[in-house]
Amino acid sequence: MALPQIGTKAEPQIIPTNAGLRTWAVPPQGLQDNIVPNDLFYIRNHWKDSPQIDINTFELKIDGEVERTISLSFEDLKKLPQKRFQVTFECCGNSPVPEYYTKALRISSVMEQIKGHGIMGNAEWAGVSLKDVLELAGVKDSAVEVMFEGADHGPDEVVGDPAEVTYERSLPMAKALHEDTILAYEMNGEPLPKDHGYPLRLLVSGWYGMNSVKWLVGIHLLDHKFEGFYMTDRYMTMNEPGNPTPYRYYDKLQVKSIITNPVPGEFIPASGYTLAGAAWSGEQNIEKVEISTDGGKTWSPVDTLHPRIGYSWNRWEHHWNPPAEGKYTIMSRATNSDGTTQPMEFPNPWDGRGYGNNMVFPFDVEVQA
């Protein structure tokens, strides 16, 4: 007598993308909904272990070019007016580099195992406006940048040099004083998870994720440009030979789109299928998303482009009736309110690293009856 088969459904889990277990990607299924849940949201840390911070003794120090140095407890921060909105986060190194570049240059990324677009996600965040916090200290006219100090530190993850460095990034005053630059303490209605900066992180709406310093413990107003390690030695790519500016440094999110439905390996029914995905451009609006089902030869506007919420991505859908069974290469491309469209080719040919990679990505699918 045959025994009945017992089936178990595998639940999606975050995917490690490097041997050091510092970075974890959202699984493809996790990108199919507007909000990525906390347990599936990508993790990008510079060291394996997250700082342990006691919320009861936590203090945020604000000093430098201010009228008065102050320290705020977590409860002090919670008394300030709350802001709550959606923000799409993307790691600067998200999305795969085409193999013809990695092979030719013999490079490997810090996130060397990236296969999809999972070093990103969309969530609802809550916190207080950085501007309100800085006003408590009084900003001097001499302040030109704000530097943010995280509690995380250690040897450089790439080569181990420097042997000891703290994660610090800075913002120009205009961005720091923008009302939607916040100090976040909630993520999707829950206290910040440990790996996402508990109890407090900076959230720089519309900019790449490395700007949003986690485990925030210090805010320092400067009268000069900050040139710390993570501002000058990381998160940049080389420009073409002869360019008077040798490196490009990244801040604002680039215009970009991805296909989330189908997921890799999923077959398309010959009877028809609703393709879906997301598009975003940080501080800019998405004006249109187009779809190609013939490898980029022809393009059509998608059927539905949903408005974004706050600084979220735009979700889109497009019904496709394949002309026949077989293999197809589908693509999506977005255009923002400035008229900038995703490039068809990899944007960093002189460097090969995946920072800011917003190219149109080919997606191979198979249609079956």
Residue 199 and residue 221: Cα distance in Å, rounded?
Answer: 22
- Looking at this protein, which amino acid is placed at residue 44? R
- Mean of pLDDT over the chain: 92
pTM above 0.85, yes or no: yes
Mean pLDDT of 328-351: 95
DSSP H or E run through 173: helix 173-176
Q: Is 188 left (phi over 0), alpha (psi -120 to 50) or beta?
A: left
Q: Name the DSSP class of 252.
A: B
pLDDT tens per residue, range 268-322: 999 999 999 999 999 999 999 999 999 999 999 999 999 999 999 999 999 999 9
| Contact assessment for residue 20 and residue 43, using Cβ atoms and an 8 Å cutoff | no
| Contact assessment for residue 296 and residue 262, using Cβ atoms and an 8 Å cutoff | no
pLDDT tens per residue, range 33-82: 999 999 999 999 999 999 999 999 999 999 999 999 999 999 999 999 99
Entry field: residues in the chain: 369
- Bridge-partner residues for 147, per DSSP? 170, 220
First to last CA, the chain: 35
Give the pairing type, strands 314-320 and 201-204: unpaired
Q: Which domains does the chain show, CATH number per domain?
A: 15-234 (3.90.420.10), 256-368 (2.60.40.650)
| Contact assessment for residue 253 and residue 90, using Cβ atoms and an 8 Å cutoff | yes
Structure confidence at residue 113 (pLDDT)? 58
CA angle 155, 197, 216 (to 5 degrees): 75
